[in-house]
Chain A
Amino acid sequence: MSESIIEESILSRPTYGTLKIVPGLAHYFLADASGAECVIRVVQELPRDMMEKVHILYVPTPGEAALITSLYAVGAKRFEHFPTIEEAVAKLGDWLSDAKMGTQLYLAGTEGLVGQGVAKGEECGLDHTAVQCEHRGSLARRVQCVHCKTMIEDVTTQPVKCPSCELLLFVRDHYSRRLAAFQGVCINAEDPTEEIEIKEVFK
């Protein structure tokens, strides 16, 4: 999978780098199927005795098994996989609650996964300099409806209809790290009769 290119945008919109192992006492990884190969790439370069310090959480695409096998094969101290980002991030929180100084967190995959991993790391008191992110895969966005506060996952269209309050939302580039979400604001609030074409834009 090729590296994704995110166009230059406003200052609250996150940008991402490339995962690289830095010195640390423990290395925690969270990835989805798009980011699995990033984890394999960096972990494979580690000396064998370092694997005692590596902990991996993974969210596979439903029905996919090959990457689970590959990730298992890298020989991390702990490897667990979960069907949803939510469950994997909750587990990351459990792991980080026991983490010590010198912990490094590595996140790889779609923006929703990376964003929720960053928010969990921050919540658990990790300094932002101890968190690395690599974006891979779709540019689908996680969006908070500013009106009813519903979180809408995997948004690929502009605008998007809120499944809860049913308002048609313009997806802004304004991004909250705490919520791990872009902001969705009603696009035709001034004139609700206005017809707006829905286009696939976040691919």
Chain B
Amino acid sequence: MPHDTRLLNSPTANSPAAGAGHDGPGHDELRRLESGLDALQTVPLTEKGPWRRALGGVLPPVLLLAALVVAWQFYTVIAQPRPDLAPGPVDVAASLIELWNDGRLQQAVLTSLGRGGAGFLIAVAIGTPLGLLLAEWRLLRRALGPLLSGLQVLPSVAWVPAAIIWFGFTDATVFFVVLMGAVPSIANGLVSGIDQVPPQLRKVGTVLGASRSQLATLVVLPAALPGYLSGLKQGWAFAWRSLMAAEIIAMGGSIGFGLGSMLQQSRDLADLSAVLATILVILAVGILVELSAFAPLERRLLRRRGLSPGAHR
């Protein structure tokens, strides 16, 4: 029997001389054993196909939406409420088509989306360095942290009157309100993302010889990305809400015609079906941005780290 059979269940394996060779066949045995154990311990991932996933993700909400619209239509047909107080889905759809035909809908969506997008990007540009500073500079955090958390709770629409006095009826007013809504969320998201970086990862970075800046760019920031992304998501939600509030309150001057303005205009005309149509458009834009921008980004990010919410089945 060869002397390198220490991994086999043989009587010689226990003798001191057994397995003195650390390469050759003994090594191969170890490799095969290890590969076998690896195969036993890793569960092959079964990915759902894109079709099944789309079907599973899209079908339930679409069905629910259809059911709600049908129920609404039944209600208007059966209960016959006053059409100016409770318009049916057909009236709302007609309003939507009318708004589209005279071009107001397209103009409002483009104006609002453009302003919301620009405001959000500016908020990212301000909130990200602010969050970094807060996360890494303790004194600043102790001083500014509570204020920033407070600002996150303060409805940013409260800034509208002040902004009108400062900036008049200009785009600056709208942007100011959007920024006050979005920046705290983005900064706080980044801070909590960085706070949640496991200390072990920083330690490993240090042990591997990373400098301070390498530690930040190669370890801390990538590790904080999920928290940052949820901050961005919340930041967008706050930006969009603040924008609508600002557009409803501040109209005229050099402020363009956005969805909020359209809402307010329809109210002035006591046109409830146009109001409801606009609300649905605002809702739809919010959902579309979430589905087309944030959801795929988040899914990719989390799945790469094995954190995908759908991973446990």
Q: Do A and B bind each other?
A: no
Interface residues of A (CB under 8 A from B): none
Interface residues of B (CB under 8 A from A): none
